[in-house]
Structures are given as structure tokens and as C-alpha cells.
Chain A
Amino acid sequence: MFIVISIMFLGVGLGFLFKNLSLLNNISKSITVTIYLLLFLLGITVGSNKSIVNNLASLGWQAFVIAFLGSLGSAIAAFLVYKFFFAKDGEVSNEG
């Protein structure tokens, strides 16, 4: 598990050192392509596993439970942070 994180920090260091290379300006495009490739590969792994394909409907329901609760929890936390630390002093005004 540490390999993944250390590779990312290696990238942060290299990116900081070589930030003037024009090659790095297009990195978000190549990230997108790599993500598509990875998800395609993940899709192959999922699709070739019969026990998952047959249970896709029940997995979607479980995913929704976690997504809904996670969103609700973070919205409540954001509400509390705003109310107790930012609303009074108007530092971040409501004008938009």
C-alpha cells in the first residue's frame, strides 16, 4: 500500500522540479486517458466474474446507501462548520 502513496509523492517532487516543461501542461489529458484505460481493465475483471454480474442490481443498492449517507454526513458537517466558525464574522460573505 505504501508503494502507491510513495509513487504519488515522487510525482509531486518531480512535478515541482520540472514544472516548466511543456509536457506537464497536458498531464490532465493523459490522466483522463489512463483513468479510462484503468476503468476499462477493471470492467473486464468485473464482467468476467459471473458472481458479480449476476448480483449487479443488489450492488447498486448498496452503493447508493453509502453514497447517500456519505453525502448527508459531509453536508451536515459543512453546515456546522459554517454556522459555528464562519457565519458570524462574515469573513466569507453571502453576496456571492
Chain B
Amino acid sequence: MKGSIIVVLFFAFGCFIGWLGGGVSEVSVEVASGVVSEVPEGATLLSAPGVESPNEIFENVHSGDGISNSGWLPAFLVDGALTTFVLYFLMLQVGLSIGADKKLKEIFLSIKPKYLLIPLGTIIGTLTFSALAALFLSKWNVFDCLAVGSGFAYYSLSSILITELKAASIGEAMAIELATIALMANIMREVIALLCTPLLCKYFGRFAPISVGGATTMDTTLPIITKYCGKDLVFIAIFHGVLIDLTVPMFVSLFCSI
């Protein structure tokens, strides 16, 4: 819970900075990706803040729409080019943390094949019902909804992957919109898992909090699951979290590429 509040704060702070400093409207994003993409990296770096006089900055902030990147923020911040490299760095670290986990072998050895049914149930249940969301949301097709749902509460990774991978098929502006939905939806899912664990355990059985927790059952929701569902589920929860964690980039990229 504390974790998701901090994450929301960082995201909101970024939104505020972007809102203050960027002047990119939906139309100009299309223009920028179509025409200006030929400009070499060095050229965008030269247009960093500090080159312009304070007076021009003031005018740009208030003139806003129409011209691509009319704000004072450098283009590589607004168009998300830097995000790609930071994402690669993040994925390397996620891999390192899984590979270097000293309990990894123990956990996998203590797991019986039968326990695979729990992550399998999580995946099938989530994807089936996420697909149903397309009936209520006319703007998005089934695969868009599946891409959001297959974040399995791993909000940071799923939203970033959608930003990167969906841009090619539905355009950058739509991709960012879907990524924002993915961020909110997966944060909401983590909050649901954290707040509803006692209820879920009572009405849907002992595995329900694990399934709803998705990829977070190895860290953020682990304490509350062991508290309300029993300590004997700790390894099942971690095993489930690790497996779902690994499937997030696969499913999100799969549904983004269809």
C-alpha cells in the first residue's frame, strides 16, 4: 500500500512536470513521429533547457498546442526515447534479482507439479475476464484489454511495456493512453489484493488472495497473504509471484503484437 502511494506520487509528479513543460497535443505527436523522427539524436540534445531565454520559455508554456514539443522540456523526455534505455536497465536488474535469489532453488524444489494449477488458474481467470472488459470499453479491442489485464498487478512494468510496444500499431498517443489505463488498472488490482485479502480468503478459498495478488505475491502482498491465509502458503505465494512475474513481459508483448 505504501509502495503504491509512493509510485502514484512519482507518476503524478512526472505528470505535473510534463503538464508544465510540454506542449505536445495529440495531433503534434503524430506529426513529430512522422516527420521529425529523421532528426539525429544530437540535434534534440542541443534544444535542452538553458539554451532559450526565460522570456521564450514563458511564451512557449502558454502558447501550448499545435507545434510539436513547444514546451521547455527536452524532446527526449517528452517523446519517451530515454524511457526505452531505462526499461532495458530495469529488465536486466529484474533478471539479476531472480537469478541471484539464494532461496530460488529451495523454493522450486519444494514445489509439487500440482501447485502449478494456481498460477495457471490466475492466468486463465484474469485473461478470460479481462477480455470481457472489451464489451464495456468500446474504445479498445479485446487484445488491448488483455494487454492491460496481463499486467497481473505489475503496474510499472506493464504500463512501460505497453508504451513501448503499442506505439507501432495504434500510434504513440493511443499507446500512452492505454499505458495510463494499464498503470491505473494494475495499481487498483494491487490495492484490491491488499485490502480484500480477508474477504477473498473467506468467500473464495485460501488461494484467492494469491491469484488476485498476481505478480505481487512474492513481495508487496506476501505479508498480508501469510497473515490471513496461513504461513504454510508462503512458498506457494513466492513461487506463484515469480512465475507470474516472468509471464508479464511475455503476455504483454504478445497481446501488444497481435
Q: What are 6 A-B pairs at a CB distance below 8 A?
A: A40-B17, A45-B18, A46-B180, A49-B18, A74-B126, A81-B117
Q: How many B residues are at the interface, by size bracket?
A: 35 or more
Q: Which residues of the other chain, A, contact B67 by a CB distance below 8 angstroms?
A: none
Q: How many A residues are at the interface, by size bracket?
A: 35 or more
Also in contact, A62 and B12, with CB within 8 A (given A28-B97, A83-B205):
no
**Would B214 and A74 count as touching, CB distance under 8 A?**
yes
CA distance A94 to B207 in the complex (A): 11
Q: Find residues 181-203 in chain B having any chain A CB closer than 8 Å to their own CB.
A: 181-186, 188-189, 192-193, 196, 200
Distance from A72 Cβ to chain B, minimum over Cβ atoms (Å):
6
Q: Find residues 216-253 in chain B having any chain A CB closer than 8 Å to their own CB.
A: 219, 229-233, 236, 249-250, 253
**Would A4 and B65 count as touching, CB distance under 8 A?**
no
A43 touches which one: B15, B26, B87, B136 (CB < 8 A)? Answer: B15
Q: Find residues 110-138 in chain B having any chain A CB closer than 8 Å to their own CB.
A: 114, 117-118, 120-122, 124-130, 132-133, 136-137
**Would A75 and B125 count as touching, CB distance under 8 A?**
yes
**Would A48 and B21 count as touching, CB distance under 8 A?**
yes
Classify the interface of chain A: helix, strand, loop or mixed.
Answer: helix
Q: Which residues of the other chain, A, contact B149 by a CB distance below 8 angstroms?
A: 66, 69-70
Q: Which residues of the other chain, A, contact B102 by a CB distance below 8 angstroms?
A: 19
**Would A69 and B176 count as touching, CB distance under 8 A?**
no
**Would B25 and A15 count as touching, CB distance under 8 A?**
no
Distance from A41 Cβ to chain B, minimum over Cβ atoms (Å):
5
Q: Please report A residues at the B interface, Cβ cutoff 8 Å.
A: 1-5, 7-19, 21, 24, 27-28, 30-31, 34-53, 55-56, 59-60, 62-83, 85-87, 91-96
**Would A75 and B200 count as touching, CB distance under 8 A?**
yes
A65 touches which one: B64, B88, B133 (CB < 8 A)? Answer: B133
CA distance A67 to B128 in the complex (A): 13
A12 touches which one: B17, B24, B95, B256 (CB < 8 A)? Answer: B95
B33-41, B49-57, B71-79: which one contacts chain A?
Answer: B71-79
Also in contact, A81 and B206, with CB within 8 A (given A4-B88, A62-B181, A71-B189):
no
Distance from B50 Cβ to chain A, minimum over Cβ atoms (Å):
17
Q: Which residues of the other chain, A, contact B13 by a CB distance below 8 angstroms?
A: 40, 43
Distance from B154 Cβ to chain A, minimum over Cβ atoms (Å):
10
- Return the 5 tightest CB-CB contacts between A and B, nearest first: A43-B14, A11-B95, A48-B22, A15-B99, A47-B18
Question: What would 19 more interface pairs be, CB under 8 Å, given A51-B26, A78-B208?
Answer: A5-B249, A34-B86, A36-B6, A38-B90, A39-B7, A40-B10, A47-B16, A48-B21, A50-B26, A52-B173, A53-B15, A69-B130, A70-B152, A71-B193, A76-B204, A81-B120, A81-B207, A85-B114, A96-B230
A73 touches which one: B11, B96, B128, B207 (CB < 8 A)? Answer: B128
CA distance A1 to B180 in the complex (A): 19
